[in-house]
A and B are shown apart, each in its own frame.
Chain A
Amino acid sequence: MIEWQDEAIVLGYKSFGENKRIIFLLTNQYGRVNGLMREPKSSKLQGLAQMGNRVIATWKGRLEEHLGYLSLEVVESFTGRLMGSAAKLLALSSASLLTHSVFPERHPYPAVYEAFLLFLESLKGEKWPETYIHFEHKVLDEMGFGLKLDACCVSGETENLFYVSPKTGRAVSEKAASPYEERLLRLPAFLLDESLQAKDFEDLKNGFILMDHFFKHQMTASSYKKFTEARGQLLRALIKLEKGRNDFIKGTLLSLEEVKRGEVTEYTVEV
């Protein structure tokens, strides 16, 4: 019998049969791990496998490749804190889906685990959208398609880096970008310096567009579709937060193309 224990973040679960669940975890040392767990009967334990919970997970299985059984002990639960904020709930949902979709099972990604923890902590405060984009950046990096943002790929400059090449993922300075600005992706300053906050919503939007461009090319079509739908809802919630809109927004999904074209800034949607 193989058994190990590790700290983990719950990414979600699916019901399996009548009284079992398959739990999806991101562990610190073992990476993404799935495991079976009996459906908790006690109301005290119902919330064990809530998305975003920090847990101590114990995995048991006869062979390493088996699904195995999991038992969880909650260290910190975030869902209760986020109940009042649609945007935060959607951000957590989007981050969990991304992690679940792009990484293979049983490969350690301690940097992603660390970034996810930072993102969860940030949800307690106000600077969480920037941390969410940093998290996406880290995921891209760990997928093997990280952006190279330390110097301009044309001139080698380390100052005034305002753009990213959509082909190479390398930074481009303001001077070298001219006259190709239209073809380049905007690089928000907070991605270069983690201590910075987004200047305005435009800055945040540029961060989302930048990451989306690379995810679109590196994720499988089906994973990207699900992810972009979840992220679209997050973006919509952020836009609403920003604009303080009260308009009813129809349940169609917001595409990043709409954001890029600026169509979402003034839209009113009929029922």
Chain B
Amino acid sequence: MIAKEIDRLMKLLAQLPGLGPRSGKRAALHLIKRKTTHLEPLIEALQTALKTVQPCTLCGNLDTQPVCILCSNPKRDPSLLCIIEDVEDLWAMERSGSFRGRYLVLGGVLSALDGVGPQDLNMGLLMQCLERGGVEEVIIALSATLEGQTTAHYVSDALRTFPVKVTRLAHGLPMGGDLDYLDGGTILAALEARQPLI
């Protein structure tokens, strides 16, 4: 009933994050009906992305150049290095607009259950980055989950031989957080990371 080319397009679209079989079908029909305004520009954008987007050789960020726009920006502070799990986290950090240093995308976190070991992380890239010199502080910005913190400890251990200050993001009360709703662990973490007011 449905041409196999359309069916293939629907199935491929349905595999995208956030889409299922129904939304895949809707998206396929939408594209087919608007060939010149949507389908052609989309094909062109996909082809360009396929040809040009690559991981940055210095930090693992995604860009069209071998050295990404963040690493090649001379205004960014090279003495600050922020270690993050994935490119999505890098975008989140950039969204805040408060960090002016450089990044390193670790590519995952250690997880015994998922079988992710140290060999699966971008540790080589991190070591190369530190061996090049110029880094004074490494900020470990990994999730406040068991896996994230296990990785944070692993990374901080790995950095012991380098003369750098190693810090991590604070844990505790979220903005707008109500103390009454927080679990004991979060309150404990917040208490331990308390800061003087005066």
Contact = CB atoms under 8 A, between A and B. Distances in A.
> Are A and B subunits of one complex?
yes
Interface of A: 11-12, 14, 18, 24, 43-44, 47, 50-52, 74, 76-84, 86, 89-90, 92-94, 96-97, 100, 226-227, 229-230, 233, 237, 240, 246-249, 251-253, 271
B118 A83 contact: no
Given A86-B157, A90-B150, A251-B121, A80 B113 contact: no
A97 B161 contact: no
Interface of B: 17-18, 110, 112-115, 117-119, 121, 123, 127, 144-147, 149-150, 153-154, 157-161, 171, 174, 177-178, 181-189, 192
Contacts, number: 107
Contacts of A18: 17-18
Given A81-B188, A97-B113, A100-B113, A51 B146 contact: yes
The interface centre, meaning the residue of A80, A96, A230, A253 with most chain B CB atoms within 10 A of its CB, is: A80
B154 A86 contact: yes
Contacts of B121: 251
A229 B118 CA distance: 10
16 contacts: A12-B113, A44-B174, A47-B185, A47-B186, A77-B184, A79-B146, A80-B171, A80-B189, A81-B188, A86-B154, A93-B146, A226-B112, A247-B161, A248-B159, A253-B117, A271-B161
Contact of A248 (B145, B153, B160, B187): B160
Q: 7 closest pairs, A vs B, by CB?
A: A80-B185, A251-B118, A86-B153, A230-B112, A77-B185, A77-B183, A248-B161
Contacts of A90: 150
Nearest to A85: B153
Contacts of A271: 127, 161
Contacts of A76: 184
Nearest to B168: A83
